[in-house]
Amino acid sequence: MTARPTLVDDLRAARRRFSVEFSPAHDEATAQRQWRAVQRLAPLGPVFASVTYGAGGGDRAGSVELASRLARETAIRPLAHLTAVGQSTAQLADVLDELAAGGVRDVLALRGDPDGDPRAPWEPHPQGLQHADELVRLALQHGAETVAVAAFPLGHPDSPDLDTDVRHLLGKFAAGARCAIAQLTFDVEDFLRLRDRLAAAGCDVPLLPGLLPVTSPRVLEVTRRLTDGHEPSWLHRRLDPFLDDRGAFREEGMRVAVEDGRRLLAEGVEVLHLYSLNAASNVEALVGELGLAAPAGDG
């Protein structure tokens, strides 16, 4: 029997493809809508689907359940988020064992932000881990096949400068991480500069940009949280004229996402990480516009 390719194998082989992110649902209606989205997107052949975890492990059960269901009921490879916030090393090990038992082989290891206030000073659990590189090692010790990590095109808020931030990222790769997903940024140049910095350091791990179509004022607020308030002024100039016209706002937001996606593809990026917000329509539209679906029979 031929061994299944690893996540990194799939990323290196991918040509103009996408991955997608889901979050655990908090009610039955959202869970049903989410699973319909999964079923609609599965035939398009995402390279993987990441499943968020929640601050302090608040979505632990839902995250493990969703990632395991993806592994069990679909052909989509799940990538389970795991954060060190508010949990002991023993608790984190339990989660990793639960994921392995559910057939989830790949983990996105994140230090995470303090529960309730991402800007609050970081305080590790007394019996927990201090840094993401420690979580990378723990995941590998508990059988994770591929460990991914986060990258920050504008630098992590705790880093004094970009050079320091890149050194921290390289430390996560030295600990055993094999790929990275960049934090959402709307300036493609920021992502490309990070890619160049890694290349200059001799690092060629797969680095995926995050892309979120801003299709409503509510989603614009979501981007503020995902970018630590660094959404660019030009984005507001593009979208603010349509605040009172829901349809026009969505159209302009999709145009921005398509423009960014085309630029990234033109710069040699092969896999775009698309935030679904637990719905399929925007992801489907982007995949169609950018030609990111897997070839027939290759999903």
Strand partners, 179: 148
Taking a C-beta distance cutoff of 8 angstroms, is the pair 16, 269 a contact? no
* Distances from the Cα of 106 to the Cα of 25, 39, 78, 115, angstroms: 21, 21, 7, 24
Residue 21 annotated to the active site: yes
Distance CA 20, CA 146 (A): 17
Q: Are 115 and 85 in contact (CB under 8 A)?
A: yes
Structure tokens at 16: 């103009």
Rounded CA gap, 281 and 275, in Å?
11
Beta carbons of 46 and 17 less than 8 angstroms apart:
yes
Q: How far apart are CA 108 and CA 152, in angstroms?
A: 14
Rounded to the nearest 5 degrees, what angle is found at the Cα of 51, between the Cα atoms of 150 and 180?
20
Given 21, 98, 252, 270, the catalytic residue: 21
* Rounded CA separation 91/195 (Å): 34
Tokens of 200: 């200059």
Catalytically active residues, by annotation:
21
